[in-house]
């Protein structure tokens, strides 16, 4: 039997709308010169190199990496990796997605597009946490919850050891991005613009100016547009009553929902469903 091995597990459901969900997890002792890509993934992947060497190409940059290094694959980013021909690497990885993923990574040293972290002193701790995700793998609800919990703890290791301070205060685009993530996760609840601003850490008036500057709409307009898109999807693809659709996208008042929906689409919810 070859000394090379590849142990990986994949979840069988679509995780992208959850706050944070494990997409896949595993470890691999690569063969000499083993390579993947160039290609893209639709989720995040963090690799920890426990031994050996290799190269990681992200966009136009190529990095030579070795034991103790971490590298991150971001969604929809062209990447490739290749094990060294003389001392091929062994690495563990966790693939994940969800609305919390980007926000959590921005609290680590992977913030602002950083692709690699060299010689991390907490590598053993992080590797052990990846092993716990692998150990939790299974097809039951309990296993899925355990895997997600262990993933949060793995990312907490990165957050707790972050040492690179942001070069400047978050800009308008970053505040708008975080607000949009909050809306994506909470649109079905009766959230207010004050709630969104508090989550981002700015005043309502500041958030208003930032949305206008970055997206050309107010936070309220963006929230309504997001809810209407979700409502349109429910009207077309489910048998929910209009009242249930209204509640499902965060409108407690059915008449107000119908008014907002007609203003946005040019037709009532009932007509939209039959068109």
203-214 pLDDT, tens digit per residue, is 999 999 999 998
Residue with tokens 């909470």, as numbered in its chain:
186
CA distance 98 to 92: 20
pLDDT of the residue at 23: 86
Is the distance from CB of 35 to CB of 81 less than 8 angstroms? yes
Tell me: the pLDDT tens digits for 9-51? 554 444 444 688 898 899 999 999 999 989 999 899 999 999 9
Q: How many angstroms separate the CA atoms of 247 and 88, rounded?
A: 55
DSSP letter for each residue of 138-196:
-SSHHHHHHHHHHHHHHHHHHHHT-----SS---HHHHHHHHHHHHHHHTTS---HHHH
Structure confidence at residue 270 (pLDDT)? 93
Q: Which pLDDT score, from 0 to 100, does residue 170 have? A: 60
Q: State how far the Cα of 32 lies from the Cα of 267, in Å rounded to an integer.
A: 62
206-223: b or e for each residue (b if 16 or more CB lie within 10 Å)? ebbebbeebbeeebeebb
Work out the mean pLDDT of the chain and round it to a whole number.
Answer: 88
Cα-based distances in Å from 173 to 200, 218, 261: 12, 14, 28
Q: What domains can you pick out in the chain, each with its CATH number? A: 5-160 (2.60.120.280), 172-274 (1.10.10.60)
pLDDT for 120 equals: 94
* Whole-prediction pTM: 0.60
Would the pLDDT of 144 be above 90?
no
Single out the residue of 235, 226, 220, 217 nearest to residue 187, CA to CA.
226
DSSP state for residue 253 in the 8-state scheme: -
Angstrom distance (rounded) from CA 149 to CA 270 = 42
Banded pLDDT at 4 (limits 50, 70, 90): very low
Given CA atoms 69, 67, 152, 94 in this order, what sign does their dihedral have?
positive
Q: What is the pLDDT of residue 139?
A: 80
């Amino acid at each position: 039997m070859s000394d090379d091995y590849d142990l990986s597990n994949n979840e069988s459901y679509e995780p992208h709308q959850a706050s944070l969900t494990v997409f896949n997890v595993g470890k691999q002792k690569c063969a000499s010169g083993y390579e993947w890509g160039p290609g893209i993934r639709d989720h995040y992947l963090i690799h920890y190199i426990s031994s050996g060497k290799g190269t990681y190409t992200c966009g136009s940059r190529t990095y030579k990496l070795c034991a103790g290094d971490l590298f991150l694959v971001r969604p929809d980013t062209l990447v490739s990796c290749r094990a060294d021909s003389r001392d091929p690497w062994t690495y563990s990885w966790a693939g994940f997605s969800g609305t919390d993923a980007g926000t959590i990574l921005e609290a680590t040293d992977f913030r602002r597009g950083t692709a690699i972290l060299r010689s991390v002193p907490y590598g053993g701790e992080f590797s052990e946490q990846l092993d716990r995700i692998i150990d939790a793998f299974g097809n039951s609800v309990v296993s899925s919850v355990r895997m997600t919990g262990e993933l949060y703890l793995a990312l907490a290791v990165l957050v707790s050891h972050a040492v690179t301070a942001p070069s400047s205060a978050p800009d308008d685009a970053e505040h708008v991005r975080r607000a949009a993530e909050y809306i994506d996760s909470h649109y079905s609840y009766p959230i207010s613009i004050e709630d969104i601003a508090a989550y981002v850490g700015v005043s309502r008036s500041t958030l208003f100016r930032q949305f206008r500057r970055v997206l050309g709409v107010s936070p309220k307009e963006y929230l309504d547009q997001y809810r209407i898109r979700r409502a349109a999807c429910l009207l077309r693809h489910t048998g929910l009553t209009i009242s249930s659709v209204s509640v499902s996208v965060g409108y407690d008042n059915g008449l107000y929902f119908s008014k907002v929906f007609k203003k946005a689409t040019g037709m009532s919810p009932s007509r939209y469903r039959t068109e």
